Copies of this chain bind each other. A is one copy, B any other.
Amino acid sequence: MKEQAKDSKKRVTIYSVAREAGVSLATVSRVINESDAVKEDTKRKVQEAIIKLGYKPNAVAQGLALKKTTNIALIIPDSSFTYIGKVLNGLLDVAKIYKYNIILHTTSVGVNEMNEIIDNVIKSHADGIVLYNDLFTEKELQILRGFEIPMVYLDVRNSGPGACCVYVDYKKAVHDLVTRYLDRGIEDIVVVDDKKNPINVKEVLCGVEEAFAEKGKKFEGFIEIPENAHSSYDYLKKYFKVNRHKLIITYRDSQAIAVLNTCAENGISIPEETEVVCVKSSRYTDMVRPQISSFVVPSYDLGSLGMRILTKMLNGDHIQDKEFKLNYVYKAKGSTRY
């Protein structure tokens, strides 16, 4: 420990270790990478020197020499850290196992452009990319793909050349849910927009429309909402003063909670008068009262599977399926009658 601290100024390199052990740097390299047979005896000497000097290989130099950084770029929207918690946990656990570092990039719409992020990802020479994000335009994705860096999309159905995805079939999930409601004769159903998750809201919408279409009906209950959470709340507050519906479907937890509160304030009883379903469940859909019915997806797996797939791609393994569908379970809670 003492030595480590003292030597930390003049950083100990592979040369120092070689000198200390009385071998060449190539040998040191061999033992730290276990890349080649080394006599047991010299190996021990080297290892002792490593410990004595507190040597830690310089990943930057390794990156340059190998043209591999073991860095993964993770791109996420700045807003959704609530959801992303468990996903990150899964991602990071697997990344750790395979010795990858995660470099975090957020797409805060105001502060910077997607292009800047792309720039950064390229410059930092990430070996792979994990994209948990709806917000890239097709054009931007095209550019990103141009660099041919292995990429996996999380929670969005989107693959293509050099890219895989781990997704949840929200379309089917909502389709089936709505079908059940239609079968019960409940048709006054609305879907709340979510500007921050355009692709998945579209999937949801699609599912609802199809369910309606299958019954020979047309769905017209899409509620558009301003972008930020505060006015989303305000908007719903106003909206529910005038409008009543039997089933309200939101994508995000915070929107569903907003609906809950608004209904309470306007004397709309849940689930008797109005039922509420939040597509994406979160810790908080369970914490509020009534608890909110929602689709539970294995978030941790979303992250860990995504990362595992990426490591496979980086490893050059051939990947059969490029789209990995994750299971979901509908959890009916207090916000719905069924």
Per-residue B-contact encoding for A91-115, CB less than 8 Å = 1, 0 else:
0110010000111101010011000
CA distance A61 to B1 in the complex (A): 31
Name the one of B92, B125, B147, B283 contacting A108, with C-beta atoms under 8 angstroms.
Answer: B92
- Across the two chains, which residue of chain B brings its CB closest to A288? B288
Q: How far is the CB of A89 from chain B (nearest CB, A)?
A: 5
- Residues of B within 8 Å of A287, CB to CB, are 254, 257-258, 261, 284, 288
CB distance from A47 to the nearest CB of B (A): 16
Chain A positions 246 through 280: 1 when the CB is less than 8 Å from some CB of chain B, otherwise 0: 00000000100110010010000000000000000
Distance (Å) between the CB of A270 and the closest chain B CB?
Answer: 12
A179 to chain B, nearest CB (A): 30
A64 touches B56 (CB 8 A): no
B4, B61, B101: which contacts A64 (Cβ < 8 A)? B61
**Contact call A106/B92, Cβ cutoff below 8 A:** yes
Chain B residue nearest in CB terms to A89: B78
Q: Is the CB of B102 within 8 A of A103?
A: yes
C-alpha gap A102/B124 in the complex (Å)? 11
Q: Is A108 a contact of B81 with CB atoms below 8 Å?
A: no
Decide: A143 and B1 in contact? CB cutoff 8 A.
Answer: yes
A8 neighbours in B (Cβ, 8 Å): 146-148
Contact between B82 and A81 (Cβ–Cβ < 8 Å)? yes
Known: A60-B69, A64-B64, A102-B104. 15 other contacts (CB 8 A): A1-B146, A60-B63, A60-B64, A61-B64, A71-B103, A81-B82, A81-B84, A81-B85, A82-B283, A88-B106, A92-B108, A96-B111, A96-B116, A101-B120, A257-B287
Interface residues of A (CB under 8 A from B): 1, 4-5, 8-9, 56-61, 63-64, 69, 71, 74, 78-79, 81-82, 84-85, 88-89, 92-93, 96, 101-104, 106, 108, 111-112, 116, 119-120, 122-125, 142-143, 146-148, 254, 257-258, 261, 264, 283-284, 287-289
Q: What are 28 A-B interface contacts by the 8 Å CB criterion?
A: A1-B143, A5-B147, A8-B147, A9-B148, A56-B119, A58-B64, A59-B123, A60-B63, A60-B69, A60-B124, A60-B125, A74-B104, A78-B88, A81-B81, A81-B82, A82-B82, A93-B111, A101-B103, A101-B124, A102-B103, A102-B104, A104-B104, A254-B283, A258-B287, A261-B287, A261-B289, A264-B289, A288-B289
